[in-house]
Chains A and B, each alone.
Chain A
Amino acid sequence: MASVLRFRKLCYVESAVKCTSVGYESFEIDEKLDEKEEDVLSANHFALEINKKRKQPKRQPKEWRCLDSCCWIIGYLCTTWWLLLFCYHCLPVTLLRVPELPGPGVRLKREGLTALHPVVLVPGIVTGGLELWEGRPCADGLFRKRLWGGGSFTQIFKRPLCLLEHLSLHYETGLDPQGIRVRAVPGLVGADYFAPGYFVWAVLIENLAKIGYEGKNLHMAAYDWRLSFQNTEQIRDHALTRLKSKIELMYISNGYKKVVAVPHSMGVIYFLHFLKWVETPPPMGGGGGPGWCAKHIKAVMNIGPAFLGVPKAVSNLFSAEGKDVSYIRAMAPGVFDSEILGLQTFERVMRMARTWDSIVSLLPKGGEVIWGNMDRSPEEGHVCDFSKKSHSKTSLTTNNINNSDVKRGFLVKDLANYGRIISFGKPASVLHSSKLPTADSKEFSRTSTSENFNNFSCGEAWTEYDEMSRQSIQNVAADKAYTTTTLLDLLRFVAPKMMRRAEAHFSHGIAENLDDPKYNHYKYWSNPLETKLSDAPDMEIYCMYGVGIPTERSYVYKLSPNSRCKSIPYQIDNSVHGEDGSCLKGGVYFADGDESVPVLSAGFMCAKGWRGRTRFNPSGIATYIREYRHKPPTSLMEGRGIESGSHVDIMGNFALIEDIMRVAAGATGDEIGGDQIHSDIIKMSERINLGL
């Protein structure tokens, strides 16, 4: 008996490796014969039984193997899951619903507000959906499917390179590459959700619908956000003409009620461009005549406006990274640019992003006058105690107050030189300007470019960095610190083709004399410092943005350690940290803002540049600043928060939604309470010395 058992066990061990059930059973027969416990069974019976067993092996418990256990477990899980799912679906819908806070729409409806002015929504960069109309063979089956935004980004994981190829534009022209047509998704679906569950405009739309808005008086001005603004009209999509026609139609079909425009992020400068375009005579403009804006537009309610650009765009163009990316890179070095996987994520992303003209439109505008020079900046003396303390501040203890007081005293000493938007090494960002080598644009000469060895060994050049020699790359870093003005020279040096292409469409300066006929050119239209607002004294301009979140303002860079082919030679030096409480963290200096746009860029035009009758605002259009202090969501139920102030989440901020709805229902800026300011924007603006 024992021997039999041992024998069996051996077999079992073997069978775990590779033992057919046939062999297994044959041993069993032996065993049974030995035991003679059972009723005496004839050989025939045994044979029958074996046959039976072979035919229905699943019935026999002894056949229970690993695979069966797996099957069992999965089956068990599936069944339970289905059961739960079934129960969930059987429940009445109302039972499981999260008791939602009644949005402002419901409340305002009770107050008796109804839809009055048609509303035009203008989405910003990145949030708008893009779909494929014609593509290469690798994009087979994606016709009219979303490549970007809206639905799922599953295609990115399935065929990432194909997607990158299709989302890129032509490097020379900034338009479609041959054989590829990617177009903006029209209609409200174009930008209501960026990804499933991640709302952009959806909350606002839903609340507007509560007081009676619907397709006929609510329009999403979707456009291809990759293109330069004039290109969305002239050569390709006629997006501006369509917007004009749509506004005119809504104006007429809603009983001659003027339109309230609600642009967001980059949409703000797109709409600024539109306002100039529509009054300019054709062929360059829309030929609406000088009174068009006054006749058709009641108010422009800019959400998170990037009027004067965002520093984020600098780091994006310079090294394809932002705050978040550089953190990840610090945490897991080499994941993104792992050579083994051949990923080179950054390089590919940069290659794509640099074909998009629109990013250039977000470079800081106004140069040193606005953004500060080597030694001074309008945000000077900004206290960076927001980083961690914003939660505990509410539950304040004396201890906390003492702490922050100490920090305050300390911080005044350790000032951030925000004006130096890019500095190489921490010393360059801290030292006084006299100790730094001056950045002189004339130094930048690409004579050395020709002696480029990398190019041959690396094959096809991906980014323009590949065309630069090692020497000139180091020269750039040797110049230590760059202000907004010299930054443009820097970009022109490192990416001449891109800047040549984009600067035909955008300008980043300040106009000396706005009557100069050169300012009739469309490239100045999206720069508020180089255009006049249209003659529409009854119009209102709102700047609505969140404050209280650290926002990227300037960067500390270093040379990238790996000098591999096709790599980006610079990266943010995320090892640089200021002392506790400093605005410097992970190589990034932070200022107040909404996480993307600093207060300065969002608020300055409404606070000073356009306030009253200035040369930028000759007809004295009324401007209002509405700031919303960021409060993180108190509980998980709230999702992304109803009092958020961050750049995109603010679209779900109830206070902001209420303001928009009141204006859309006919209120004026004074009726909703005029200015509402939490930040130092007025003080900052005063420090800016701009002739008005």
Chain B
Amino acid sequence: MSSLRRRKPINESSDSKHNEEEEDEDHDDVDADGDDDVNGKNKKTPSKIKKKRGEKPPKQPKWSCMDTCCWFIGCICITWWLLLFLYNAMPASFPQYVTEAITGPLPDPPGVKLKKEGLEAKHPVVFVPGIVTGGLELWEGRECAEGLFRKRLWGGTFGEVYKRPLCWVEHMSLDNETGLDPCGIRVRPVSGLVAADYFAPGYFVWAVLIANLARIGYEDKTMYMAAYDWRLSFQNTEVRDQTLSRIKSNIELLVATNGGRKVVVIPHSMGVLYFLHFMKWVEAPAPMGGGGGPDWCSKHIKAVVNIGGPFLGVPKAIAGLFSAEAKDIAVARALAPGFLDNDIFQFQTLQHVMRMSRTWDSTMSMIPRGGNTIWGGLDWSPEEGNSCAKKGEKKNETQIADQAGSENAVCKAKSANYGRIISFGKDVAEAPSSDIERIDFRGAIKGHSAANTTCRDVWTEYHDMGFAGIKAVAEYKTYTADSLVDLLHFVAPKMMARGTAHFSYGVADNLDDPQYKHYKYWSNPLETRLPNAPDMEIYSLYGVGLPTERAYVYKLSPHAECSIPFKIDTSADDEDTCLRDGVYSVDGDETVPVLSAGFMCAKGWRGKTRFNPSGIRTYIREYNHLPPANLLEGRGTLSGAHVDIMGNFALIEDVIRIAAGASGEELGGDQVYSKIFNWSEKINLRLDEEIPVHSSR
């Protein structure tokens, strides 16, 4: 109380005026307290008296709001520090005790378990991270990025995104014409295992796998993270950073320093395509290739263990390129309309994101490949008859199998046309193909848009299209995988011109055609042959049991000026046909549909085919998604989601076994939960080498 008084002298003086009468009394009190003074407590007396006065009702608001706040914050701070101290003083294994006390003993992590079995580090391991998960750091930047030298722009905490968003967008973008660095900006991949062990603090990517491999004796000299700049097209990583050469040199070094044991390569997500590109590059003669000679792969690689590989692309990439949104964003937009593209705050987030991501060539490597042959036409698709009962009702399904069966039947009656990857309007997506009137957009004239001048400096190629062009796109009603590529050419000609120099999306008729020696075909499994390495093994490991985006229902955006003119029609829902929020989903790992991840290993490369002339053995290992049983498990040890699967114990165990020398058969061969074999059957792709005479050239 006394301290409070001292802090408020003004208050006090005003009080004293009001209470002159009482003051007299107080004086008496002081005298009366004389005996106490003898005890040496006289100093407390006056304050005590004031204190007494403070109690009286008229002077009640001594304790102001400010003080209460301070007091409150102080309490919180102290508690927080105390907890922090306790946390720090706590032995590191404490959370585990708690977990075990609640849920019973945890299963050993696979590394520990397999070490007990006697497994030891054998083959060196190479990780190839996917898109987005690799860290990028700044080496040279504009003025606005001062002080960020060698700090992470991507990965890590992302603190800079909030502090200086526009600066960040500028530095993350590439040059729109060349797909390389803009002038004066150098953003480079982080190297080493730190590049992709954690994406953000606490959000692991490779860390769990690395930790488990370390248990059986792996360390820096036997592990290598093939970090690359995932924004660039694959060949450009070599042109700019000599990344492919570095990977080659490092693999050779790993093999040489580990007694000639071949490496096990573990690519994830887009890294799968990147490594496919690498395998072709390394055997191609210099200058376009690495000059490793035709048997480099068979000499240096034991197995390629693809995790969640989008061999044939992902439909998500289309939505990303077409309207800078995916399921999540579309839902967010539906919930809070206008927030992301709020004109008042001049956010225009999506436009900025689109402008940035369209400069990244790598996003174009994920456009669905193989056209209608793989992804289905207007009226058919390989996944036809997919049951949607799985979604959300998984537990029910296991309990009441009969009911699920009946639901299945319903679904078959009214199946989704997955082949129509983009349709404008739900009715179009469902109508029989004969009922759809389509006006070809390809010849349409793009009007010149006046919006271009009014829209500040935000730049997407939509602003060059004009209203006529946008209308023409919508008039075509529905797009299959084949016409999608044309659509993208139409709406973003510059980007696609850049992209098609590096990527190709077709199916090869004749693989001997010399045109397929060009590097743009190397990352397309349908237009390249696997290397001649009969002892090599190719695995495809991916999660199943999660709804995965497969086709979209679009609508024209209401405010067409200064913004992206198309958006996903989140109002389109249909229980029966897996349509939810404008997105048709199928089985997959939330990002990559089963078809894309599994087809090559299930059929395209199975046995000796024309894509796999040396008969490299392929194995499919699927992991059924189970959500984490409780919160303590974090992201789950049984997850099948695209990134979380890297923490799936079953997958890690498989990887460790392979690295320790096991072959595919020893692992148990194929492990399939989805209908990938059925679906592959439906795809009519010629696999034998003989070329029908009429179709050659």
Contact = CB atoms under 8 A, between A and B. Distances in A.
Contacts of B147: 93, 97
Interface string A1-29: 11001101100110000000000000010
Contacts of B197: 144
B33 A5 contact: yes
A453 interface: no
Contacts of A143: 211, 214
A61 B61 CA distance: 9
Contacts of B252: 245
Q: Which of B45, B92, B197, B250 has the most CB of A within 10 A?
A: B92
B4 A75 contact: no
Interface in B584-638: none
Contact of B245 (A68, A89, A249): A249
A510 B194 CA distance: 44
A248 B246 CA distance: 11
Contact of B29 (A5, A61, A75, A248): A5
B253 A245 contact: yes
Interface stretch (B70-78, B530-538, B687-695): B70-78
Contacts of B48: 5, 8-9, 12
A237 B221 contact: yes
B186 A133 contact: no
B55 interface: yes
B686 interface: no
Nearest to A65: B1
Nearest to A241: B257
Nearest to A252: B245
B253 A189 contact: no
Contact of A214 (B33, B88, B188): B188
A62 B54 contact: yes
A181 B218 CA distance: 10
A70 interface: yes
Contact of A140 (B32, B67, B93): B93
Given A144-B210, A181-B219, A186-B192, A71 B71 contact: yes
A59 interface: yes
B164 interface: yes
A215 B71 contact: no
A365 B3 CA distance: 69
A187 B41 contact: no
Interface in A141-200: 141, 143-144, 158, 181, 183-184, 186-189, 192
Contacts of A441: none
Given A75-B69, A210-B140, A242-B257, A5 B63 contact: no
A8 B52 contact: yes
Interface string B183-202: 00010110111100100000
B132 to A, nearest CB: 20
A206 B149 contact: yes
A351 to B, nearest CB: 25
Given A5-B32, A13-B41, A238-B257, A93 B164 contact: yes
A236 B222 CA distance: 11
Given A187-B191, A216-B242, A245-B249, A238 B221 contact: yes
Contact of B70 (A62, A75, A249): A75
Contact of B74 (A72, A97, A184): A72
B57 interface: yes
B393 interface: no
A403 interface: no
Q: Which of B45, B60, B249, B252 has the most CB of A within 10 A?
A: B249
B139 A209 contact: yes
A143 B186 CA distance: 32
B92 A141 contact: yes
B28 interface: yes
A94 interface: yes
Contacts of A214: 139, 186, 188, 241
Interface in B482-503: none
A241 B256 contact: yes
28 contacts: A1-B28, A2-B29, A5-B48, A6-B35, A28-B55, A58-B71, A61-B1, A61-B55, A62-B1, A71-B78, A72-B3, A72-B70, A75-B72, A78-B77, A79-B69, A89-B163, A94-B146, A134-B214, A140-B92, A144-B193, A188-B191, A192-B150, A214-B139, A215-B191, A237-B220, A238-B257, A241-B257, A253-B242
Q: Which 8 residue pairs spanning A and B have beta carbons closest together?
A: A75-B74, A71-B74, A141-B92, A2-B32, A75-B70, A75-B73, A253-B242, A74-B74
